[in-house]
Structure 1
Amino acid sequence: MRKKPASSESDGQPARPQDYPLRKPVNTLAIVPKSEKITVTARKIYNVMLHYAQRQGVGKDRYQVRLADIATGIDFNSNNTELIKQYFRQMATTGVEWQSPTIGEGARWSVSALIAHADLIQREGELILEWSYAPNIKQELLDPQRFAKMSLQVQASLNTMASLVLYEICCRYADNPGGLTARQPWAWWRPVLTGAPDSPTSAYQEYKIFNRDVLKKAIKKVNEVSDLEIELVEHRTGRAIQDLQFRVRRKTPMIAPSEKSIEPVDLKTIGAAIKAGIPQERAEKHLLKYGAKAMDEALRIMGERTSRSNMEPVRSPDKYLATLLQSGQFGEQKAPAAAPRKVFDTKAERLKLIEHYMALKRAELNDMFQEMPDADQRQWIGRFEAEGLPTSEVVRKAFRTKGIASPIVRPAFLKFLGNSVWEEGWEKPSDSDLVDVAIQLKEEAGPARKR
C-alpha cells in the first residue's frame, strides 16, 4: 500500500480554522529585525508554518507539512523552488528580538532567527517542508500562555508589512476592557511596523512622513478588510508627538469565521513576475504598491507584448512593468474623485503654484537633512556625490568648492534626497495639492493685508 504523504494533522483530518485559531504569542507580535528586512510574504508564510506546528504539538523536534500546503501558485513538483527557498533563507538567517508590545508582559527577552532550520525533502512525488525552532523560543511559540488569536484569512488580505503587524498587535487588545494597545514611543513602532532594522538614514525618522506613509495606510487597510476598527491615539509633549497607541474595537457584527482549512500563501503573482524577468525584491515591491490584481493584469499585457515576434524585445522587464502599473489602468477601478475647486485661471498661475509647492517640499527635505546626525549627513552627501551629482562641470566645480551649500548644487542634492526617501511622483503635485497651496497662500496673505 502506498504510504500517505506527510499530513498537516495528527489524525489526517483537516480541521476548521475556528477549531484551531492561530495563537500568536505576545512575544512574537513586535519582533524587531536586527539585520535584514523581513518581507510581508515571509511573515505570512511564517504564520502559516506556526499554525501547522501548533497543531502538531510542542513535543516534536521537527515539523513537516507538504510545501503545497504552505504556499500555492507555483508548480513545486518542478525545479521552480528558488522563490520559496528565498523566504526560508530569510527566516533562518534574519536575527530578531522577540518582545511583547506591552512592557513587562513577556516572560523574558529573547533573540534568535525566526526558524532554526528548513529542509525541502522529495517524497513520493511531493515536496515536503521540514523545519524547527530555536530551543529558547520553541515552547513559547507552540504552547503560548499569553497570545493573540488571529485569522489567517484576514492575513491573506493584508498586503503590507505595516498592516499585517498592526493587525496582529491589535488582535491582542481587541477584547481588553479598555480597548487600547500599549503606549510606546513613536520611534519604537518604526522598526516593528516596517519590518526593517531601524536606520538613521530612513525617511521615517520624521514622524510626519512615518504617519503619512506607514500609519495611515496600515490603519485604513486593517479597517477595510478585518473585523477590527482601529484608531490612532497620539500623545504629545508640547507640540511634538512622543508616544503612540491604538484604540481597538471589534466591529458589530463580527466577521463570520470561514469554514475553509488553513489557506496557503499565494505566490502565483510573484512567481509569474520572476518568470517574466522581474527580480524577486522588485516583484514584492510592485505587489505591495499596486496589489495582485493590477500586477496580474499588467503581467498579462507584458506577456502579450513579449510574444509578438514582429516587435523589438522588452529590454528591461522591470521598467516596462513599472510603466504599465504607473499608468493606473489596472486593478480596482476607483470612483472618479470630485474635481477640486479651481484656484488658478492661467497657465502662469498654475506654474506659480507648482513653484511654491516645490519650494515647500525642498524646505521639508532640508529640515529633514538638518535634523540628521553629522555622520548621517556625511553619508548622504557621499551617496549624492557617487550616485546623483550632475555631470555638468559647472555643478561639479561648485560642489568641489562649496559642497551642497552651493546655490546651484543644493537643489540637485535635495532632489536626490527626495527621490531616495519618498515615493515616486513626490515632485508632481496633483490639482488637490495645488488647491492646498493656494489656500495656504491666501491664509498667509490675509493677516498681511490687515496690517
Structure 2
Amino acid sequence: MNDIEKDRLTGSLRRGAVKKNVAAIHVSGKLTLLQRKLSNVLLLNAYDTLISQQVHQIDARTLCMMIGYNSNDMETLKQSLRGLAETVAEWDMLDEEGRQEWGVSSLLSYAKLKGGVCEYAYSPALAQKLDDPKIFALINLNIQRRFTSGHALALYENCYRFVRTGSTGWWSLDLFRRLMGVSGSPYYDVYKHLNAKIIKPAVAEVNKTSNIVVTPETKRMGRSVSEIRFKIAENPQLSILDLDDGSGLRNSDIYARMRALGVSDRLALQWMKEHDETYVRKQLDYVAGQGGVKNPVSYLTAALKQDYSGAQVSPRNPTSNKPMSADTAERVRKLGIIQSMAAARSPTQRDADRRLFMSKLDGAALLDFENHGWMSALNFKLIVAFWSDIAPGAFEPDLA
C-alpha cells in the first residue's frame, strides 16, 4: 500500500469500533447496506480529526476490501460515495443549554477518487454533531461486516446504543419507518407488511449475527399498532465478536509456540490468562526439550499443572534432553515471522489481508481461519505461501 496508509490510517483506525452520534444514526436509514458500512468506516478513519481537519483521505483499494467490495470495482465505490453525498442528514436534538436544535446536511459534503486515494469531507455543522461524545452508539466494525441486510444493520445501530438501559423506549411507527429507510413507501404504511418484510427479518439477523438480542413489543391504539419498542439484552454466545482478533494475547510469541504444538486457540488463551507469562514460557521450554513426545498438548497440560520445569528429572523421559524437532522449530519460526509481519501492517491493511486470504478458502478451512486467524493450523502452508507473496524472502533463514 502507499504512504497514505502510514500517514493517515493510524490513530482512530486502530480501534475496532466507531462512535456514531445519535443524530447520524437516525438520519442514515435510507442507506443501502454497502453505503451504511462505507459510512461507518469513513467516519472511523476521520474520527480523531473531524474538527481539526476538513479533508480526510484513505487508500481506495484498501477501503474497498475493508468494506467487502471487489478491490478493482471502482464503479461500485463511486456509486456508494455518490449515494452518501446525495443523502440528506437531519437532526433534531437538544443543545447544551437545553434548547431544541434542528439541522440538515448531506452526509458527505464531497468525495473524490484520485491516484488510488479516496478523499472526502463532512460539512462543518455535521462534523460537530459527529464529534459530539455525549450521545453516541459504539458500532463494532467486526460485527457490521457480518450483516447481509441494510435494514438489519440499521436496527442494530439504533438498538445497540440502548443496550445498557435494556430497551429503546417507545417509537412511533412513523419514526421507526424513517429509521429503517422505508418512510416513503406506501406499502409499509400497512403494519402487516412492515412486520413481515422489515421487522421480523431484521430482528432474526440481529439476533443471529450481532452481540445483542432484540425483542420487539408493540402498543395499539384501537385495533391498529401505533408504537413499537425493542427490548435489548447482550448475546453471550456471540460476545467473542467483540474481541480484537490478531492483537493482545494472540500477538505473543508464547501463543505462537503453543499453537505450533497443536494447542487450540481457546486453550492457549485460557492458559495465558491463568498463568504468569514466565511460568508458561518455562514449561514450553521444558516440553520442547523432551524429544519424541507423542502428545505435546497433553504433556504441556501436565507440565503447567505440576511445574515440570522445576523438577530435576523429567517424569516422562529421565535421560532425554533433546531440542524440539526440526519441523516444530521451523513451524514456530515461521509463525513468529507471520505475526511480526501482520503486526507491522496498518489496521486497514490487516483487514484487507484477512479478507483477501479468506476469499481463497471455504468449508472447514474457512471456519478454522475465522476462529484462529493467521495461527490457523489447518491453513499453515497456505498462510506461509500467502505471506511469501507479500514479502518474498521473508522466511529465508537468517544466516547472520
- Give the TM-score taking structure 2 as reference length: 0.56
Deviation of the 1:40 alpha carbon: 1.5
Q: Indicate conservation of the 8 Å contact 2:9/2:58, yes or no.
A: no
Residue number in structure 1 paired with 2:243? 257
Superposed CA RMSD: 3.1
The one-letter amino acid of 1:24's match is: K
Q: Compared with structure 1, are the counterparts of its residues 24 and 12 closer, same or farther at alpha carbon in structure 2 (3 Å cutoff)?
A: closer
State the distance in 2 between where 1:63 and 1:57 align. Answer: 9
1:343-354 maps to which residues of 2 (within 5 A)? none
Alpha carbons of structure 1 residues 106 and 9: separation in structure 2 relative to 1, 3 Å: farther
Are 2:19 and 1:23 equivalent residues in the alignment?
A: yes
The match for 2:74 is 81
Distance 1:28 1:182 in 2: 19
- In 2: Cα distance, 1:43 partner to 1:88 partner: 11
* 2:144 is the counterpart of 1:155: yes
**In 1, Cα distance between equivalents of 2:147 and 2:137:** 17
1:130 aligns with 2:130: no
Evaluate the alpha carbon distance shift between residue 161 and residue 258 of structure 1 in structure 2; reply closer, same or farther with a 3 A threshold. same
* CA gap 1:99/1:69 in 2 versus in 1, 3 angstroms: farther
In the alignment, residue 167 of structure 1 is paired with which amino acid? Y
Note if contact 1:71-1:267 (Cα within 8 Å) is conserved in structure 2.
Answer: no
SS of equivalent to 1:233? strand
Match of 1:139 in 2: 128
Q: What corresponds to 1:225 in structure 2? A: 209
% same residue: 25
How far has the Cα of 1:94 moved from its partner?
Answer: 2.2
Aligned residues: 247
2:27/2:88 contact within 8 Å kept = no
For residues 267 and 98 of structure 1, what CA distance do their matches in structure 2 show? 35
1:7 is displaced (CA, Å) by 2.2
Change (3 A) 1:234 1:8: farther
Q: Does the 8 Å CA contact 1:230/1:247 hold for their aligned counterparts? A: yes
- Give the Å deviation of 1:258: 2.4
Identify the residue that residue 308 of structure 1 maps to in structure 2.
none
**1:204 and 1:81, CA in 2 relative to 1: closer, same or farther beyond 3 A?**
same
Structure 2 SS opposite 1:157: coil
Bigger share in helix: 2
Q: Tell me, in whole angstroms, the C-alpha distance in 1 between the residues paired with 2:170 and 2:99.
A: 15
Q: CA deviation at 1:14?
A: 8.4
CA contact (8 A) 1:28 1:99 kept: no
Residue 26 of structure 2 aligns to a residue whose secondary structure is coil
Kept after mapping to 2: 8 A contact 1:9/1:55? no
Gaps of 5+ in 2: 247-346, 357-361, 363-400
Structure 1: which 5+ runs fail to align? 269-292, 294-451
Task: Kindly indicate whether the alpha-carbon contact (under 8 Å) linking 2:28 and 2:36 is maintained by their aligned counterparts in 1.
Answer: no
Query: Contact 1:50 / 1:142 at 8 angstroms: preserved in 2?
Result: no
Match of 1:63 in 2: 56
Alpha-carbon separation, structure 2, partners of 1:71 and 1:24: 21
Q: Deviations over 1:168-226 (max 9, x none)?
A: 011110012xx110311112211321x24524xx3111001101110010000000011
The alpha-carbon distance between structure 1 residues 197 and 88, as it changes in their structure 2 partners (threshold 3 A), is farther
Q: Residue by residue, what CA displacement relative to the aligned partner does 1:343-396 show, whole Å, maximum 9, x if unpaired?
A: xxxxxxxxxxxxxxxxxxxxxxxxxxxxxxxxxxxxxxxxxxxxxxxxxxxxxx
Partners of 2:196 and 2:6 lie apart in 1 by 41
Q: Distance in 1 between matches of 2:203 and 2:218?
A: 14
